Every structure is written in C-alpha cells, then in structure tokens.
Amino acid sequence: MVQILDVVEKALNGAPVSENDYQLRRFSPKVKEKVREFKIKYDPSLPVPDDDSLADDLFQAGLELLVDVGAYCIDTGRVISYTEGEVKEALRNSPSKVHFGEGRDRRAFVPRKPEDRTPPWCLLGAGGGPVSGEESFLTLMEGYAEIPEVDAITTPAITRAGGMRIRPASPLELLGAMRNASLAREACSRAGREGIPFMNTLATAESDIALAAAMMPRYGLRSSDGFMIASMDPMKVDFARLNKVTLALSMGAPIGMDFAPLLGGYSGGPEGTAVCAVASHLMGLLTLQTSYLIPFPLHLRYVSNSSRDMLWVISTMGQAVSRNTHLLSLSLNYTAAGPCTPMVLRETSASVIAAVASGLSIEMGGTATNKFEDRMTPVEPRISGEVAHAAAGMKRTEANRIAEALLRKYESRLADPPLGKIHQECWDAGSRKPSKEYAAVVKRFKAEMTDLGLELSPEL
C-alpha cells in the first residue's frame, strides 16, 4: 500500500515535466479524451440526474484519468504516478468509518449511497471564511456549536494578530493559527460542546509551519479533530502540503483533503469538471493519505457552486464516488449571495439536496463566495443542517424537482448576487438569535420549502 514515503519518492523521481506542460499538454487533453471515450454528457434539464450508468462511467473515467496523468509536485517539477493496482488497493483499504470528537460529542462518520436514509454527516460553520476580530470569531463559533444537527465545526479564519493583518508564513500567521485553535475550543466549551471536533483545522494556518505551531496540545487541538489539507487545481501538491500530512500522521489524526476543480478552468465544462472531481478523490486518498474528502467544485465566473451546471457536477460526482467506493466525502457548498437574503438560503438548500440525494454528506460555510469579512452567520449552516437531515432518503427525481424549483428563483441573479449583511447587522450575539429581519426571511423561506414538499423545523 502507498505510504507517505512512497509519495515523496515518487515526487522526487517521477517523470520530469514543467507545470505548464502538465496542465495544458497532459491534464487538459486527457480530461477531454475521457469525456469523449465514456460519452459523458451534461443535461441542463437534470441538475440532479438519476442515471446509474452515467455515475459508473464517470467513476471509471476519473480512475483512468488519475492513472494516465498522475498528480504533480510543483516543488520538484515531477509527476507522482500511480498504477491502477495501487489505486484499487488504496480504495479497498480506505476507512469505511472514522470517529471524530470526544466524550458525548464523539460520533462516527460513515459513507452513504444515493437516496440513502442514513443521516448525512454535517460539518457546519464558516468554511474558513474571514472574520474581522476575536469577538466575531467567538460569536460565530458559539452559534455553530448550538446547531442541533452539527457533527463537527468548520471554523472561521482570523485575519489579524496583534492588530496587524496576517501574512502567510510569518510570525503573524503562527500567532493567528494558535489563537484560532484556542478560541475555537473556548467558544465550544461555552456552548457546552467541549468534545466537538474541528474538521477543517485550521483555516488560519495556510502554511505548514503555522499548522505545526497550532498543533501544540496547549492550544486545544486533538487527534480526534480532522486536519484538512488543500490540493491545488488541477491535482497539484507541494512539499508544504506533504509536510502537513506528515505532521498529522505523526499525531494519528485523520486527514481530509479539500479541492476545487474549476468549471471553466483546466477541466473544461461540467463534464470534465466532474471527471476531475472523481479523480481528485482518488488522488487525495493516495497522495495526502486522506481519511475523508471535501470537494467544492467552483464556477470560474460565479466563484460558487449553486448554478445549474454546478449542481449537476456535485450530483454526478457524488453518485460516481458513493456508488463505487466507501469513501467518506462531504460536499462543501459556496453561495453567491450573502446573509439575510432569501437567495443564500435557496442556494445552499439546492446544493445540499443535490449532494445528500446523491450519496454525499455536507460541509456548509462558503457564503458570499467566502471572501468577504464577517459575511456569514450561524443561520446559513443551521438551515443547511436542517435541509440535509430532511433530504435523507429522498429520491433523486424528487431532489431534481426541488432543485429546479429553487433554481428558477435565483439562477438569474448569480452574476450579480445580493451580498446581504455582515453578521453584526443580522445576528444578535447576546440572544444568539437572528435579527427580526433575518428571522422573517427564514420564516418565509421555510414556508416556501413546505410548499415544495420539504418539511423543516418551525423553530430557528
């Protein structure tokens, strides 16, 4: 079985190729070839298809793509190649259950299948979105910890240390990452969720040295948390990421890989993006030694994944992976709209329904494209958790009907979405509830979902 030393050896001694040639002459042409070979075709009338043969063909196309092109190490300029036998062995030996958290908050993350009644794992929070200060961080984290459906939290990213904006791989980043870890644990303790895991540890720690600093036990990180490491599109890694892998493995901690194939980028259209998303699952399993995967394919123009073609990518990718493996995969949704708008709730619900009906679990946190400070509240992940649990067991045809109805209400706004309000304007930190304005938005949205046939809790 491929181990981290095998990955490093492949990165040092693999076939030499320039990064540009890997992307444009190796990866992109092979994606197009696989789309043609397996006759993969996007149907805009079916954002949530129910074609099992399409899902199985897509899985085989993704597997062959990884075997044909490999991953790429940008530090050595070499291809990290895998044989089909290595991929299949890794799939056989991948974990079919992982426990996260401690005490009464310890739970098992298990795989799902399309239309599965098993409740999806709900990783809820900020998706690593930026916050302006420590008070904002604590306010949001307490709100996330109180969501009934939450199994694990994805923390915000602190953007300042000592009043100075954090710079990558600087002492400021180390200080910010350490503070991120300790504040997150403090906030969850306040909410009575001392053992809840953080599965994106840590949003502030972009560099390997910052993650190493935050992993000191005194800051509250545990081997029962999840250590998420990002790959670069398309299927690229560097030694900093492999350093993070080595650190997490030394703790015996589960590793997750998040990755964002870009629709309109090196993968091409929705068909190629779906093939790349499947291949990236397998690449993460081998290259980053993952126990779980967090795909968040993004639309190059909208920087979100709630558009019609992106829902198709999420659905087909999810069905391909869940039907053919027991990998633990969570779909991370990014919305174009921001808090206190009906659009953000419709976007996240469409994405969640598509993912859950297709056999995935969910991560929620990327509101307003996840790039604006404080443009997030505990409301959006709470709605996502409610919708995810309500959608468990839903037929794909029914998911497609609801997704279509939601799309008709927001897809014309994706190019110019409402950014809504920052959390200080629509979330009351004292009462830990949304403002009257946002509560009214939520009430109308829940009535709308009831009319569509999806019953949500009357409470917020």
| pLDDT 10s digits, 234-265 | 999 999 999 999 999 999 999 999 999 999 99
Element (H, E) at 186: helix 171-190
90: tokens are 């890794």
Strand partners, 164: 161
CATH number where 292 lies = 3.20.20.460
- Whether 122 maps to a domain, the answer reads yes
* Residues in Cβ contact with 5 at an 8 Å cutoff, skipping those fewer than 6 apart: none
On whether residue 77 sits in a domain, the answer given is: no
Does residue 354 lie within any of the structural domains? yes
Per-residue pLDDT for 29 more than 80?
yes
Q: 47 φ, ψ to 5°?
A: -60, -25
Range of the domain at 155: 98-451
Please give the model's pTM, rounded to 2 decimal places.
0.97
Q: Is residue 24 part of a domain?
A: no
Whether 142 shows a pLDDT value over 90: the answer reads yes
Check residue 169 and give its pLDDT.
86
Per the structure, how many domains does the chain have?
Answer: 1
pLDDT, tens only, 316-361:
999 999 999 999 999 999 999 999 999 999 999 999 999 999 999 9
pLDDT of residue 34: 98
Residue 87 lies in a domain: no
CA distance 123 to 331: 10
Q: Within a domain: residue 60?
A: no
217 pLDDT band, cuts 50/70/90, is confident
List, in sequence order, every residue forming a beta bridge with 329; answer none if it has no partner. Answer: 293
> What's the half-sphere exposure (Cβ side, CA atoms, 13 Å) at 49?
23
Please give the Cα distance from 336 to 399 (Å, whole number).
Answer: 21
Which pLDDT value is given to residue 201? 64
Check pLDDT > 90 for residue 110.
yes
Q: What is the DSSP letter of 416?
A: S
**Alpha-carbon torsion (429, 432, 434, 435), positive or negative:** negative
In a domain, 433, yes or no: yes
Q: Rounded to an integer, what distance in angstroms lies between the CA atom of residue 367 and that of residue 129?
A: 8
pLDDT tens for each residue of 274-322: 999 999 999 999 999 999 999 999 999 999 999 999 999 999 999 999 9
Q: Where are the alpha helices (DSSP H) in 14-108?
A: 19-21, 28-37, 52-69, 84-93
Residue reference for tokens 């493995």: 249
Look at residue 220 and tell me whether its pLDDT is greater than 90. Answer: no
Highest-confidence range of 119-133, 161-175, 397-411, by mean pLDDT? 397-411
For residue 53, tell me if it sits in a domain. Answer: no
The stretch 368-394 carries a mean pLDDT of 97
